[in-house]
Amino acid sequence: MPFAKPDTAFPIRLPDGSHHQGTVFLKAVLTHPRIEVGDYSYYSDHSPLDDPSGYAARIAPYLFEFSPETLVIGKFCQIASGVQIITSSANHRYDGISTFPFAIFDEMGEGRPSMPTTFPDTIIGNDVWIGTGAMILPGARIGSGVIIGAGAVVRGTVPDYAIVSGNPASVVRLRFDEDRIARLMEIAWWAWPIELIVANEAAICGGDIDTLERVAAKG
């Protein structure tokens, strides 16, 4: 059986021939204008939706079509059930006396003093595994190869190939030393054709960087 195409809504075929309704390739089901998703990134949900386009609101509940910020999710990300990405439109001002967003209950004209003035994008790199119930806070920058523990609350910048957990999340350790991380980022296997990726599955999942470098050098 060939590898599932990135435009497949339900990419997991069960032994009886049916498709697992709880796992979707996000690029195939999301039409939200403020979300950019790379190929093969998937979301798994314990309570599947009848309309899979609704996963945009489940994953990023405060990202509206008129929001100024963008949510970017790279390729081959694995997003578990209950993950929420809180984007910048959910922010309140907190540099003054009150955090109350008066403007949203009135005419939301530009320059209202109760509203934030900046709306940073939220960026998630490639091959990121986000554990069950984790929360990504507004403006987070998550590097490639990151593992986010279940229930973690993540803000700020997370370096490539870090493991983070806790509330607030902190780096537990890096998965590889700095030299190997630099080599992996140069290889960028997620940008290869899917046929080449599958052919080198053992090296990718087994950590054989030397083999991956030889494959990358061949173009």
Structure tokens at 97: 């006396």
- Catalytic residue of the set 19, 32, 46, 92: 92
Residue 20: active-site member: no
Here the tokens at position 185 are: 């980022």
Tokens matching residue 116:
């934030």
8 Å CB contact between 41 and 25: yes
Q: Nearest 5°: CA angle at 48, between 45 and 49?
A: 130
- SS3 (DSSP) at 18: coil
- Helix, strand or coil, per DSSP, at residue 65: coil
- The C-alpha atoms of residue 84 and residue 130 are separated, in whole angstroms, by 10
Q: Which tokens sit at 13?
A: 């075929």
Q: Which of 154, 12, 152, 133 is nearest to 81 (CA)?
A: 133
Q: Which two tokens mark 59?
A: 């994953």
Q: Are strands 162-165 and 147-148 parallel, antiparallel or unpaired?
A: parallel
- Give me the active site residues, please: 92
